[in-house]
Amino acid sequence: MAASTATAGMAPTSSDKSFFGHPRGLSTLFFSEMWERFSYYGMRGFLILYMTAPVEMGGLGLGTATGAAIYGTYTSMVYLLSLPGGWIADRLIGQRKAVLYGGILIASGHFSLAFPANATFYLGLILIVFGTGLLKPNISVIVGQLYSQKDIRRDSGFSIFYMGINLGAFIGPLITGLLAQDEGFRGWLGSMGMNPNSSWHWAFGAAGVGMTLGLIQYVLGSRHLGEAGLKPSPASSPEAFDRLKKKSTMWFAAAGGDGRGRSGAGQRQHHDHSRGSDGWISLRADCGHPRIFRLAVHG
């Protein structure tokens, strides 16, 4: 999966010591991951508060049990999707593209959350889940590929990289929390003629801005990464690679096309938050397809 080891041919020369004695590319990955963790933990810090806040206070008005179930499903799927995300990078597109595409999905997800609508809320969570599944496992692989297998700097390089993770995770909740709940900021919104309850969505937007900054510097700094993560693991033959792509396309089509072709007013539910007789809550958002989104959580 995404645990590919570096080879000497993929790594920059050991003479590159321009970032605290480490390859210059480490700074690109350091700040990319810092901003990604800023956006992830910044949003996650107030997510359940937003879901359970009363509607008149700008929240979704969900019960605590329902909000906690959605929160738990979201956070678990973020890490579970690292498995297919690593496989896609290793076999199909390479780690560099996986990190780029993942970052774009994450930023799109946060900006989707910034719009005050149920459909965009669940869409945003789904985009962040898929984006993190692509970015999170593969950016660490690129860090390892900056060094040759015998380079003694590798362990300290990962320590520096993890400092970026901790820094982003520390700063993110401070800024987004201030935007989401600070009475002074809410008062400023009111004085500007805006709804003070929109403060939640300003915080979601701030997380998106953070991820966008990470993407910008990742693209600008990618020239310092050399060949690290540029190509997927080679297949045994071009024919085997073509077969792999065809199978992957079929799998994704089968996963995304379940229920395709169903129509009718009786099969479409807009923002239906209904509790069935079996005690499960079905959360749907209909964007032209009755099964684009469906999340079942026990109430």
What is residue 238's predicted lDDT score, i.e. its pLDDT? Answer: 59
| Domain assignment present for 78 | yes
What is residue 248's predicted lDDT score, i.e. its pLDDT? Answer: 57
What is residue 209's predicted lDDT score, i.e. its pLDDT? Answer: 97
Instruction: Report the amino acid identity of residue 25.
Output: G
Q: How many CB atoms lie within 10 A of CB 34?
A: 24
Determine the structural domain holding residue 71 and report its residue range.
Answer: 16-224
| Domain assignment present for 265 | no
Across 11-30, average pLDDT? 76
Across 135-150, average pLDDT? 91
Q: What is the pLDDT of residues 274-297, one digit of tens each?
A: 334 333 333 333 333 333 333 433
What is residue 242's predicted lDDT score, i.e. its pLDDT? Answer: 61
Q: Over the chain, what is the mean pLDDT?
A: 81
Beta-carbon contacts of 294 under 8 Å, excluding residues fewer than 6 positions away, are 282, 283, 284
The most confident of 111-120, 223-232, 252-261, by mean pLDDT: 111-120
Q: Tell which wins on pLDDT, 23 or 241.
A: 23
Q: What is the pLDDT of residues 78-89, one digit of tens each?
A: 999 999 999 999
| Domain assignment present for 218 | yes
| Domain assignment present for 186 | yes
* Listed range (105-109, 201-205, 249-253) with the worst mean pLDDT: 249-253
Domain count, the chain: 1
What is residue 229's predicted lDDT score, i.e. its pLDDT? Answer: 81
* Listed range (157-161, 169-173, 212-216, 233-237) with the worst mean pLDDT: 233-237
Examine the pLDDT at 64 and tell me if it is beyond 80.
yes
| Domain assignment present for 136 | yes
| Domain assignment present for 248 | no
Across 241-265, average pLDDT? 53
Q: What is the pLDDT of residues 184-220, one digit of tens each?
A: 999 999 999 999 999 999 999 999 999 999 999 999 9
Across 243-270, average pLDDT? 50
b/e burial code for range 91-127 (CB count within 10 A of at least 16 → b): bbbbbbbbbbbbbbbbbbbbbbbbeeeebbbbbbbbb
| Domain assignment present for 293 | no
Residue 32 CA to residue 29 CA, distance in Å, equals 5
What is residue 247's predicted lDDT score, i.e. its pLDDT? Answer: 59
Q: Is 15 exposed, middle or buried (0-12, 13-18, 19+ CB in 10 A)?
A: exposed
Residue 206 CA to residue 86 CA, distance in Å, equals 28
| Domain assignment present for 166 | yes
Find the CATH number of the domain harbouring 175. Answer: 1.20.1250.20
